[in-house]
């Protein structure tokens, strides 16, 4: 439960916690690599979906995309992103969605940052990634 | 063991698949509830892990569908939830899920939840095997009727009544009630060792034949005792042994095989004795018609303090109405309702706090 609670606090707030990702994949680095590539590939489209939904005032779509992003980012260890996506999901489900704009901007910026980080790591060798994971992950 | 994984999110599905494979399961993955249901209907899956929030059929609807249809044995369902979605957890458990896990899950947590599921499924298997053995033994002299189905309901009812009495509070608890329900059908298992010419004889037995007939208690007890020695931790074997040995003993010491009296006779034997006699009286036999409840009740009351433990007779009177219901209920109903009874885990769950 510690991981989940951490998503809502600032205490554990990594751009990409590779430690937890490697652990979740039970050391299967092949799987780690696949998940990260998939994530990097879909990032741009996700940002477009979010922005289009907000422009159209389509809060349902916004909540649903944010929900999916929350799950994905939490799984790969993008903790800050998971926290932001969770806020978007929650606020777009509640009636007074006032400051969605600024949170959404933060989320889009975060997605891009994670994407850059992920692409860099995907270019590194698996060994290097493993070392990163073993050394405590984080940013 | 096969396990079905249901999630519309490929990332989550891949992580799940990897973990359960590491834990020695054979995973099959599908991305929606409809496909899941189709596969479950093939009878190949006893365990399902499903996401809740999916387009089309949600995980909760999937649970409801699985529970609403007769499946080939019990299907154990674990739901995956978002970390702050208490409401969905409650809906899911109410729809029939056995357990839940928050996403993203830790592999060690998944492993423990799978272990709990396997334990429950193996218990169901054990209960079925015990009952099948009992039916097999019963089949030789009792081809029709649902004697064993009624027997276990009667013993369960009596034990459950006694569990409310202060003097039995320390001996008869929920576990005891469950055990007697499970093991009382084995009371006559020793009859497999009685020759056909005696067991199936249409007329009355000679004194010599009756002596042989009495040995079914010892044959059954010896069989169960040797099993109990191999598995000392299996308390159901211990109770099954006591029931097989003592269900023909009488409160006044005039029973067999050992002429035990009063509380020398284990409680489970005293309970089964009354249940067995009541069922024999109210069932048709080649040598007698089925007696009415009233007639059977009179005979049992007459036997209080001689044949039966007076306390068990009192318990019988307290739950008389339920006895009549069981006696009248169609045997097939009894089987359907009781064969797949599985304890619920719900009460022991700690729901996550909403944040």
Taken as a whole, chain A contains a residue count of: 139
Q: Are residues B200 and B118 in the same domain?
A: no
Rounded to a whole number, what is the distance in angstroms from the first to the last CA of chain B? Answer: 36
Q: What is the pLDDT of residue B111?
A: 95
Using CB atoms, pick whichever of A8, A24, A39 lies closest to residue B15: A24
Given a cut of 70, the residues of chain B with pLDDT beneath it are 70-72, 83-84, 143-145, 330-355
Q: Compute and round to an integer the Cα radius of gyration of chain B.
A: 24
Q: Are residues B22 and B160 in the same domain?
A: no
Is B135 among the domain residues? Answer: no
Is A8 among the domain residues? Answer: no
Inter-chain CB proximity A86 and B18 less than 8 Å: no
A31 near B CB under 8 A: yes
The C-alpha of B83 sits at a distance from chain A's nearest C-alpha, in angstroms, of: 6
Range of the domain at B193: 140-339
Is B129 among the domain residues? Answer: no
Is B256 among the domain residues? Answer: yes
Interface list for B 108-127 with A (CB within 8 A): none
CATH number of the domain bearing residue A110: 1.20.120.160
CATH number of the domain bearing residue B315: 1.10.3210.10
What is the C-alpha to C-alpha distance for residues B52 and B88, in angstroms, rounded to an integer?
8
Is B133 among the domain residues? Answer: no
Is A73 among the domain residues? Answer: yes
Q: Are residues B204 and B255 in the same domain?
A: yes
Is A139 among the domain residues? Answer: no
Q: Are residues B188 and B307 in the same domain?
A: yes
Is A65 among the domain residues? Answer: yes
The DSSP letter of residue B4 is E
Is A46 among the domain residues? Answer: yes
Q: What is the pLDDT of residue B84?
A: 64
Domain count, chain B: 2
Q: Are residues B151 and B96 in the same domain?
A: no
Is A134 among the domain residues? Answer: no
Q: Are residues B148 and B115 in the same domain?
A: no
Q: What is the pLDDT of residue A22?
A: 92
Range of the domain at A98: 16-129
Judging by DSSP bridges, how do beta strands B2-6 and B26-30 pair with one another? parallel
Q: What is the pLDDT of residue B328?
A: 85
A39 near B CB under 8 A: yes
- Judging contacts by C-beta atoms under 8 Å, the chain B residues touching residue A31 are 14-15, 18
Is B132 among the domain residues? Answer: no
Q: What is the pLDDT of residue B145?
A: 64
Q: What is the pLDDT of residue B104?
A: 87
Q: Are residues B111 and B145 in the same domain?
A: no
Domain count, chain A: 1
What is the C-alpha to C-alpha distance for residues B76 and B334, in angstroms, rounded to an integer?
23
Inter-chain CB proximity B10 and A38 less than 8 Å: yes
What is chain B's mean pLDDT, rounded? 87
The C-alpha of A23 sits at a distance from chain B's nearest C-alpha, in angstroms, of: 8
Is B228 among the domain residues? Answer: yes
Q: Are residues B161 and B294 in the same domain?
A: yes
Q: Are residues B162 and B301 in the same domain?
A: yes
Q: Are residues B277 and B332 in the same domain?
A: yes
Q: How many Å separate Cα B282 from the centre of its chain?
A: 24
Q: What is the pLDDT of residue B122?
A: 81
Given a cut of 50, the residues of chain A with pLDDT beneath it are 1-11, 135-139
Determine contact, residues B62/B69, Cβ cutoff 8 Å: no
Q: What is the pLDDT of residue A25?
A: 94
Q: Are residues B148 and B210 in the same domain?
A: yes
Interface list for B 13-32 with A (CB within 8 A): 14-15, 18-19, 22
Residue B243, CB-side half-sphere exposure with 13 Å CA sphere = 29
Inter-chain CB proximity B53 and A35 less than 8 Å: no
Q: Are residues B289 and B158 in the same domain?
A: yes
Residue B299, CB-side half-sphere exposure with 13 Å CA sphere = 14
């Amino acid at each position: 439960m510690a991981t989940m609670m951490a998503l809502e606090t600032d205490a554990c707030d990594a751009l990409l916690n590779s430690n937890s990702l490697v652990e979740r994949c039970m050391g299967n680095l092949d799987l780690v690599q696949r998940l990260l590539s998939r994530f990097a590939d879909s990032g741009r489209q996700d940002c477009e979906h979010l922005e289009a939904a907000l422009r159209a005032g389509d809060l349902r779509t916004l909540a649903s995309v944010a929900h999916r992003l929350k799950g994905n980012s939490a799984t790969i260890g993008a903790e800050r992103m998971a926290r932001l996506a969770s806020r978007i999901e929650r606020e777009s489900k509640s009636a007074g969605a006032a400051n969605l704009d600024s949170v959404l901007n933060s989320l889009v910026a975060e997605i891009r940052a994670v994407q850059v980080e992920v692409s860099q790591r995907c270019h590194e060798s698996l060994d290097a990634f493993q070392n990163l994971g073993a050394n405590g992950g984080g940013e | 063991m096969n396990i079905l994984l249901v999630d519309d999110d490929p990332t989550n599905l891949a992580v799940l698949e990897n973990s359960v494979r590491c834990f020695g399961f054979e995973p099959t993955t599908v991305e929606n509830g409809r496909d899941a249901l189709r596969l479950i209907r093939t009878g190949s899956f006893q365990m399902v892990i499903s996401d809740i929030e999916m387009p089309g059929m949600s995980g909760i609807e999937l649970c409801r569908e699985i529970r609403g249809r007769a499946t080939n044995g019990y299907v154990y369902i674990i739901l995956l939830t978002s970390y702050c979605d208490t409401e969905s957890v409650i809906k899911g458990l109410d729809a029939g899920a056995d357990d839940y896990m928050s996403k993203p899950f830790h592999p060690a947590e998944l492993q423990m939840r799978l272990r709990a599921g396997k334990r429950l499924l193996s218990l169901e298997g054990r209960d079925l095997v015990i009952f099948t053995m009992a039916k097999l033994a019963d089949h030789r002299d009792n081809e029709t009727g649902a004697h064993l189905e009624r027997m276990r309901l009667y013993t369960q009812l009596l034990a459950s009544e006694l569990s409310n009495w202060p003097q039995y509070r320390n001996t008869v608890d929920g576990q005891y009630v469950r055990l007697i329900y499970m093991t009382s059908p084995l009371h006559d298992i020793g009859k497999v060792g009685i020759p056909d010419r005696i067991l199936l004889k249409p007329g009355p037995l000679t004194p010599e034949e009756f002596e042989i007939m009495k040995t079914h208690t010892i044959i059954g007890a010896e069989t169960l005792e040797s099993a109990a020695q191999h598995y000392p931790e299996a308390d159901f074997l211990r109770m099954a042994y006591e029931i097989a040995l003592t269900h023909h003993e009488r409160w006044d010491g005039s029973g067999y095989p050992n002429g035990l009296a009063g509380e020398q006779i284990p409680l489970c034997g005293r309970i089964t004795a009354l249940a067995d006699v009541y069922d024999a009286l109210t069932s048709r036999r080649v040598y007698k018609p089925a007696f009415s409840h009233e007639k059977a009740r009179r005979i049992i009351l007459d036997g209080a303090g001689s044949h039966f433990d007076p306390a068990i007779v009192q318990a019988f009177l307290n739950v008389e109405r339920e006895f009549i219901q069981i006696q009248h209920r169609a045997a097939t109903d009894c089987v359907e309702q009781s064969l797949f009874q599985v304890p619920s885990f719900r009460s022991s769950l700690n729901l996550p706090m909403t944040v």
